[in-house]
């Protein structure tokens, strides 16, 4: 066994015995480090202490050429840094060759959205049963206020100000934010509140409940939205976050106010919200291609 493989084996035992890491996590570290050893062997490097930054860069470049994405390479480098931190502590290496190496950035995937006509069709469901009234209120609220699924499932009536048309939610990082609710969503919520007592038999604190009065789970809400998308003939896969994406894209498209959309969504960093500017440009490019005489093929 090469010396580096022996070191890797001891490091993985350290992760199990001293760090108490989960088996899956240790296996992920092991795969990354075994791959490192194989790539270093291709460079005729067989000892951890002999590895330099250039060797790590060459390994990352080779994996990138083989199709590894930025996130995968970030994890690969993280595994190497952790390994070398241990080696330095054990006096088996003098420096960490991965500390200054950065993985190539992954291209950000643009979130999908529904256009306004598709949203209108989805929300135009027949409210002939109490459950349908509830489901309409769920979808109207998510699209009206851009709420996350976890914010909807944890919502209680004392967080909803129907007269003031506001909802207060606890978002990521336990941060509270206040978001407007549109008129149509307010009407849908009022209709569901009237039905809810009859369905569950008592005045429930959770806003969205089952027929037994228990708060709906995230999976239940996802299933109900899928049901109505099929019922309304929406060909696209529809899920709660798609309605949140659509809300953000449509508000930005109409207002052009990125900072306001950031506040509405509860993003701590505006760079997270900026992805919707790309969606807006896609819309403009589509209009241009269809309307400008010089753009037609």
Q: How confident is the model at residue 235 (pLDDT cuts 50, 70, 90)?
A: very high
This model's pTM is above 0.95 = no
- Chain center to CA of 145: 18
Tell me what pLDDT residue 237 has: 94
Q: Are residues 45 and 146 in the same domain?
A: no
Asked if the structure places residue 107 within a domain, the reply is: no
Q: 145 and 43 in one domain? A: no
Residue 24, CA atoms < 13 Å, CB-side half-sphere: 0
Lowest mean pLDDT among 34-43, 67-76, 144-153, 194-203: 194-203
Residues 185 and 74 in one domain: no
Average pLDDT, the chain: 89
d(CA 126, CA 51): 67
Q: Using one digit for the tens of pLDDT, what is the confidence trace for 64-119?
A: 888 888 889 999 999 999 999 999 999 999 999 999 999 887 766 778 899 999 99
Predicted local confidence at residue 122, as pLDDT: 97
- Let me know if residue 269 belongs to a domain: yes
Q: What is the mean pLDDT of residues 14-39?
A: 89
Highest mean predicted confidence (pLDDT) among 121-130, 192-201, 267-276: 121-130
CATH label of the domain that carries residue 8: 1.10.150
pLDDT at residue 143 in the model: 96
Torsion sign (Cα): 94, 99, 104, 107: positive
Beta strand 176-180 with 160-161 is unpaired
Which of 74, 89, 104 is the last residue in one of the domains? Answer: 89
Position 33 in a domain: yes
Find the range with the poorest average confidence among 34-38, 157-161, 275-279.
275-279
Instruction: State yes or no: pLDDT of 228 exceeds 60.
Output: yes
Which residue range(s) make up the domain with 13?
3-89
Q: Supply 294's token pair.
A: 């010089």
104 within some domain: no
**150 and 263: one domain?**
yes
- What confidence tens digit (pLDDT) does each residue in 117-170 have? 999 999 999 999 999 999 999 999 999 999 999 999 989 999 999 999 999 998
Q: Annotated catalytic sites, by residue?
A: 148, 172, 241, 244, 267, 276
Domain count, the chain: 2
What CATH number is given to the structural domain containing 241? 1.10.443.10
Phi, then psi, of 124 in degrees rounded to 5: -90, 55
149 and 259: one domain? yes
The answer to whether 144 touches 185, Cβ cutoff 8 Å, is yes
Q: Is pLDDT above 70 for 204?
A: no
The verdict on 84 and 165 lying in the same domain is no
Phi, psi of 240 (to 5 degrees): -55, -45
Q: Is residue 96 part of a domain?
A: no
- 143 with 38, same domain: the answer is no
Q: What confidence score (pLDDT) does residue 200 get?
A: 60
Is 80 exceeded by the pLDDT of residue 2? no
For residue 246, CA distances in Å to 9, 33, 237, 240 come to 49, 42, 13, 10
pLDDT at 283 over 60: yes
Same-domain check for residues 242 and 131: yes
For residues 177 and 43, membership in a common domain is answered with: no
For the residues 40-62, what does the mean pLDDT come to?
91
Residue 97 lies in a domain: no
Measured from the Cβ of residue 23, the count of other Cβ atoms closer than 10 Å reads: 8
What is residue 245's predicted lDDT score, i.e. its pLDDT?
A: 94
Judgement on whether residues 13 and 129 belong to the same structural domain of the protein: no
């Amino acid at each position: 066994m090469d010396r580096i493989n022996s070191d890797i084996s001891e490091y993985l035992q350290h992760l199990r015995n001293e760090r108490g890491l989960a088996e899956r996590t240790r296996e992920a570290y092991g795969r990354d480090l075994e791959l490192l050893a194989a790539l270093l062997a291709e460079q005729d490097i067989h000892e951890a202490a002999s590895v330099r930054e250039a060797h790590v860069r060459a390994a990352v470049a080779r994996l990138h050429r083989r199709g590894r994405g930025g996130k995968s390479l970030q994890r690969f480098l993280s595994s190497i840094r952790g390994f070398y931190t241990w080696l330095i502590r054990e006096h088996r290496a003098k420096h960490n060759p991965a500390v200054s190496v950065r993985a190539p950035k992954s291209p950000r995937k643009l979130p999908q959205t529904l256009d306004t006509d598709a949203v209108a069709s989805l929300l135009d469901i027949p409210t002939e049963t109490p459950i349908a009234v509830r489901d309409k209120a769920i979808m109207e609220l998510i699209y009206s206020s851009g709420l996350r699924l976890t914010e909807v499932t944890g919502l209680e009536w004392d967080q909803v100000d129907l007269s003031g048309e506001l909802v207060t939610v606890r978002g990521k990082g336990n941060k509270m934010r206040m978001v407007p609710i549109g008129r149509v969503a307010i009407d849908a919520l009022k209709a569901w509140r009237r039905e809810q007592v009859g369905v569950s038999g008592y005045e429930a604190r959770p806003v969205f409940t089952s027929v037994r009065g228990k708060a709906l789970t995230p999976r239940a809400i996802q299933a109900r939205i899928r049901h109505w998308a099929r019922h309304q003939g929406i060909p696209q896969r529809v899920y709660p976050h798609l309605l949140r994406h659509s809300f953000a894209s449509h508000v930005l498209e109409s207002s052009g106010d990125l900072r306001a959309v950031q506040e509405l969504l509860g993003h701590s960093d505006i760079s997270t919200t900026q992805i919707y500017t790309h969606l807006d440009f896609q819309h403009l490019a589509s209009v241009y291609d269809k309307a400008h005489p010089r753009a037609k093929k």
